[in-house]
A = this chain, B = another copy of it.
Amino acid sequence: MPQVDLCFSPELLALYHLPGKVVVVVDILRATSSIVTALANGVTHVFPVAELAECRALGEQHGCLTAAERDGRAAAGFDLGNSPFGYLDGVVEVKGRAVAISTTNGTHALRRSLAADAVVVGAFLNLQAVVEFAEAQQKDVLVVCAGWKGQFCLEDTVFGGALAARLAASGFDVTSSDATLAALHLWERAEADLPAYLLQSSHVRRLNSLEANKDFVFCLQLDAYPHTLPLWRTDRLVNEVMH
């Protein structure tokens, strides 16, 4: 019976054995939610990058759109910020384009996970797509939380709990890992009102005060994009079409 485990911080990834596993990278606020939204809205592929300079270079050399922010706003000289609405509001035409997205935590989590059999990107927006991919693979699943400055964060953990709850229903073992048990219990507490639950978090409240409340509400929608599964291929994230 395949198992579900959670790693609360990329800093702990060295403790996990990745070969044979499916890794789900999650950074709900907002990197992985934005990546899912991008691929769901016609972006052809995404290059996640850690540094602004690398993001700019991909834009100049490969003609990608570039997405970056500093302190909650689109950084100067980039096409988009880190809001998922950049792929929805029509200000920049994104259909058919590739995007280089600057996301420090998310990129570290991704790059450290590449020894896994498959690396996908998860968010509440594409929860069911992640569930169906895991069900099709029938391999152990490790949710890698990008965390907040390397530390535990509630929103990524609660996503892990929501994923574990659905995979438990299709026969995955969710009781072999204390981290998974904790995430499940937190999800069961959060589920009835996810935004209210997460607004207890001080770093979520800080993000919210940066006029990002609209993003916050958007990123907590379950299954808005149930057919979008960003899958790592060679050097980029592409949308894996589910069969």
- In contact, A151 and B12 (Cβ under 8 angstroms): yes
Contact of A178 among B6, B148, B177, B179 (CB under 8 A): B148
A105 at the B interface (CB under 8 A): no
From B15, B149, B154, give the contact of A15 (CB < 8 A). B149
A87 CB within 8 Å of chain B: no
Q: CB of A166 within 8 A of chain B?
A: no
Interface residue stretch chosen among A19-27, A71-79, A180-188, A218-226 = A180-188
Once the chains are docked, how many angstroms separate the CA of A60 from the CA of B157? Answer: 48
A117-135 residues with Cβ-Cβ distance < 8 A to B are none
CB of A175 within 8 Å of the partner chain: yes
Whole-angstrom distance between the Cβ of A14 and the nearest chain B Cβ: 8
Give the contact stretch, choosing among A33-41, A196-204, A229-237: A196-204
Q: Which residues of B contact A12 (CB under 8 A)?
A: 9, 11-12, 150-151
Task: Check if A152 sits within 8 Å of B202, measured CB to CB.
Answer: no
Interface check A216, CB cutoff 8 A: no
Residues of B contacting A202 with CB < 8 Å?
175-178
Interface range, A side: 20 to 34
Judge whether A8 is part of the interface by a CB distance below 8 angstroms: yes
A143: interface (CB < 8 Å): no
Is A153's CB within 8 Å of the partner chain B? yes
Q: What is the chain B residue whose CB lies nearest that of A158?
A: B182
Known pairs A12-B9, A151-B15; A185 contacts B178 (CB<8 A)? no
Q: Residue on B with the closest CB to A202? A: B176
Contact with B along A138-177 (1 / 0, CB 8 A): 0000000000111111100100000000000000000111
Determine the distance from Cα of A157 to Cα of B177 in the docked complex, in whole angstroms: 14
Complex formed: what's the CA distance from A176 to B205 in Å? 10
Which residues of B are found within 8 Å of A203, using beta-carbon distances?
178
B157, A181: Cβ atoms under 8 Å? no
B11 A8 Cβ-Cβ under 8 A? no
Kindly list 16 other residue pairs between chains A and B, CB separation below 8 angstroms, not including A12-B150, A157-B178, A185-B185. Answer: A6-B152, A8-B8, A11-B12, A11-B15, A15-B149, A15-B151, A151-B178, A151-B179, A152-B178, A152-B182, A154-B178, A175-B200, A176-B202, A178-B201, A182-B182, A185-B186
A-B contact pairs, 5 of them (CB 8 A): A8-B8, A8-B152, A15-B149, A152-B178, A154-B181
